[in-house]
Amino acid sequence: MNEKPTQEDLDVIQVQLGRTPRDVHAISYRCPCGKPAVVATPPRLSDGTPFPTFYYATCPKLTGAISTLETTGMMAEMQDRLATDKDLAAAYQSAHKQYEAARNDLGMDVPEVKGITAGGMPDRVKCLHSLVAHSLSAGPGVNPLGDEALAALPKWWLSDPCQITDGESK
């Protein structure tokens, strides 16, 4: 997707995060309700801080659902499979390379984050939030473990669609 954020988008993200968003480069995925759900952030923030997490989930309903999924043992099971399934490991390595290439497309040389992506890629599984954000942003078939986690999530937007009113997320 990678849409330039509008002021309305930034206002929604501020409510979602409960703080002023930092250096949002693009909206990389919108919830089915139309609100921003994942943002793309440059590898160096405007204050000079290196920031390797290019895709960052902002929707509280999405992040809550992912947090619940993280408690199920899914990450440990994925990690075990990475050690034994060479095809999965190769696909995960490819996802890592795609993630880094997408971030590098911004044209910023940030040596501190070279080779570092998110979620534990390319050889560990340590954050489903990052992997799901990558899958939502890059589309299906890019990050196999992000796709698996995304498929295991409930449809977070159906039961109580996101509403942002008066500076609050409901």
Q: Measure the CA–CA gap between 157 and 139, rounded to whole angstroms.
A: 18
Residue partners of 83: CB distance under 8 A and separation at least 6 = 89
pLDDT of residue 156: 83
- 41-59, pLDDT tens digit by residue? 999 999 999 999 999 999 9
Task: Identify the band that residue 166 occupies on the pLDDT scale cut at 50, 70 and 90.
Answer: low
pLDDT of residue 2: 84
The DSSP-derived string for 62-121 is HHHHHHHHHTTTHHHHHHHHHHH-HHHHHHHHHHHHHHHHHHHTT----GGGTT--STTT
C-alpha closest to that of 124 among 64, 81, 72? 81
pLDDT of residue 162: 67
Task: Identify the band that residue 25 occupies on the pLDDT scale cut at 50, 70 and 90.
Answer: very high
Q: Measure the CA–CA gap between 94 and 141, rounded to whole angstroms.
A: 11
Average pLDDT in the chain = 92
Q: Measure the CA–CA gap between 116 and 144, rounded to whole angstroms.
A: 18
Residue 128 predicted with pLDDT over 60: yes
C-alpha closest to that of 119 among 99, 141, 139? 99
Residue 159 predicted with pLDDT over 70: no
Gyration radius from the chain CA atoms? 16
CA dihedral of residues 143, 148, 149, 153 (deg, nearest 10)? 130
Give 153's DSSP letter: S
Task: Identify the band that residue 114 occupies on the pLDDT scale cut at 50, 70 and 90.
Answer: very high
